[in-house]
Amino acid sequence: MKGIYLTQEGKQEIEAKIAELEGTNIHLMKPSHTLGSLEGRISALKEILSSATILPVEESWNNISNNTFDRANNSEIYPQGVIIQPK
């Protein structure tokens, strides 16, 4: 899988879901759910995590300057990219 981008928070949420699924008591599952489907969900989530790029989050564009020097510097700081997400 390629092209999956997550924040650190998103990664932690997926890890928590994997832990929750791995701790599922098979005897308490609904009859429509099978062990195979549970293992499939866990496997899919692990595949997402193994192939995802974890990107840092900045609060605003102001933290990333537009001048040439800073753009070169930002490519060193964020070689794979960055997510701009106002809080």
In this prediction the pTM is: 0.66
pLDDT tens track for 49-70: 999 988 887 776 665 555 444 5
Note whether 22 and 42 are within 8 A (CB).
yes
Domain ranges across the chain: 8-53, 55-87
Q: How far is CA 60 from the centre of its chain?
A: 20
Summarize pLDDT for 7-32 with one digit per residue, the tens. 899 999 999 999 998 887 766 666 66
Q: Which residues, 6+ apart, have CB-to-CB distance to 41 below 8 Å?
A: 21
